[in-house]
Amino acid sequence: MVCVLIPATSANLGPGFDAVGMALSFYNEVSLGPSPKELEIEVFGDGAELISRDKNNLVYVAITKVFEKLGKTPRNLKLTLKNRVPLARGLGSSAAAIVGGLVAANAYLGNPLPSDELLRLATELEGHPDNVAPALLGGVVISGFDRDKVKYLKLPVPEVEVVVAIPRFQLKTADSRQILPAEIPFSRAVLNVNRVSFLIAAFCLKKYEYLQIGMEDYLHQPYRSQLIPGFYQVVEEAKNAGAYGVALSGSGPTVIALAKEGEAVGRVIKEAFLKFNVETEIIYTRPENRGAIDLINYKGEGDC
Ligand code: HSE
C-alpha cells in the first residue's frame, strides 16, 4: 500500500495569472492498496458527500492514466481519500486529486515514471500547469507551455505566513473563467508586466515589502471580483493591517494574504468580509517547499 500527501495550492499568485503557483502547508491524502473487489473508493473530509465513488472519480481517472501509460490495467484496487483542501474554492482541489492519483499509482507500480512525465500527464488532465506544478513539486513554481512542452522554474520560497480566507460559497473555475474578457487595454497589460516583475524580484531578493505592489493584478481580478462581494475593501483593510500583499487565490473565491505575522490580518479579513455578509473560514498556513513527490514518505502532519 502507498500513501501520498498532496499540498493545497494557490495559483495566479497576484499578477501571475496562469503562470505562478504556490504550494501551501495543508494537504489531501491519497492511499492506494490492493482489494478483493474490482474497485473500492472511500472518501473522508471536506466535500466527501459530493465526490464520486466510481470510475469517474478524478483521483481514479489519474490512476488509470499511469496504468495505461505503462500498458497495464488497473484492477482490484482500494482507494482511500482524506480531503482537507475545500472543493471549488481556488485552492487547487482538482490539481490535488490529479497529482494524488498520478503519484500514488506511480509509487504503487515502483516509480517507473519520472516527475517531468507526471507533470505532463497532470497538465493534460487539468488543462493548465499552474496548480498541478506546485502540487507535484512544492514551493513557488513558474510554469507554462513551450509549444506542447511544460516548462517550469522553482523560485525561493518566501519566508512569510499565508492567511487563507475561504468564503462559504463555491466558484467553479469554468464559471469564473467565462467572466474574463477576450482583450484588455494595452496599458493594463503593461501594468501587469510591471507588477509581476516586482513579485518575482521580491521573492528572489526577500524584499517582501515590495509585494504591496507585487501582488496587484490587472488581468483577472477586476472581472472576477464582481463575483466576490467586498473583494477590494478586504484587500485594502488587510494591507492596512500589515499584509505584505493580498490577492485572489486561483480563480477564487478564496483570498490569500502574505504577511510577516498573519493573526491580525486574518481577523481583519474575516471582519471585512462579514460587512458584506460573506462568512469565511480562516486558515493560517505557510508556503510548503515539498511537493507530493517529496511528501510520499513523510511522517509529519497528516495521517500517512
Ligand atoms: N489559472 C487558473 C485560472 C487557475 O485562473 O483560471 C484556476 O484553476
- Reported as a single tens digit per residue, the pLDDT across 258-284 is 999 999 999 999 999 999 999 999 999
Residue 96 among known ligand-binding residues = yes
pLDDT at site 173: 82
Is beta strand 77-83 parallel, antiparallel or unpaired with respect to 39-45?
parallel
Phi and psi at 59, nearest 5°, equal -65, -45
The third-level CATH classification (topology) of the domain covering 161-285 is Alpha-Beta Plaits (3.30.70)
pLDDT score, position 172 = 85
Angle, vertex CA 210, rays to CA 205 and CA 214, nearest 5: 105
- pLDDT at residue 302, rounded to an integer: 62
User: Quick one: which of 177, 158, 157, 29 has its CA closest to 90?
Assistant: 177
Looking from the CA of residue 92, the nearest atom of ligand 1 is 8
Grid cell for residue 262: 498573519
Length of the chain: 304
Q: What are phi and psi of 150, to 5 degrees?
A: -95, 125
pLDDT tens-digit profile of 205-216? 999 999 999 999
Whether 180 is in the pocket of ligand 1, judged by its Cβ within 6 Å, is no
Mutate to test the pocket of ligand 1, among 58, 93, 126, 131 (most ligand atoms within 8 A of CB): 131
CA angle at 63 for the pair 59 and 69, rounded to the nearest 5°: 145
pLDDT in the model for residue 175: 85
**Res 197: pLDDT:** 98
CATH architecture, range 2-155: 2-Layer Sandwich (3.30)
The domain ranges of the chain are: 2-155, 161-285
Instruction: Please tell me the predicted confidence (pLDDT) of residue 301.
Output: 64
Nearest to 34 by CA among 75, 70, 85: 75
Ligand 1 centre and the CA of 173: distance in Å?
6
pTM confidence score:
0.95
User: Which parts of the chain sit beneath pLDDT 70?
Assistant: 299-304
Phi, psi of 181 (to 5 degrees): -80, 160
Q: From the centroid of its chain, how far is CA 79?
A: 22
Please report the pLDDT score of residue 299 as a whole number.
66
